[in-house]
Amino acid sequence: MIVCNNCHWGQGDFWSEETNPIRDLLELEDALLESDLSASSTTDVHMQEDFETVREMIIKRVEGAAKKIKNMRWRTMEDYVLDNPESKCPTCYEKLTVVE
Ligand SMILES: [Zn+2]
| Angstrom distance (rounded) from CA 100 to CA 86 | 18
| Angstrom distance (rounded) from CA 45 to CA 67 | 19
The neighbourhood of ligand 1, an ion, using CB within 5 A, equals: 4, 6-7, 9, 89, 91-92
Distance in Å, CA 27 to ligand 1 centroid: 33
- What is residue 8's predicted lDDT score, i.e. its pLDDT? 93
- What is residue 75's predicted lDDT score, i.e. its pLDDT? 94
Distance in Å, CA 3 to ligand 1 centroid: 8
Residue ranges covered by each domain of the chain: 2-98
pTM of the predicted protein model: 0.77
- pLDDT tens per residue, the chain (100 residues)? 899 999 999 888 899 999 999 999 999 999 899 988 998 766 655 656 778 888 998 999 999 999 999 989 999 999 999 999 999 999 999 999 988 7
Q: Is 97 helix (H, G, I), strand (E, B) or coil?
A: strand
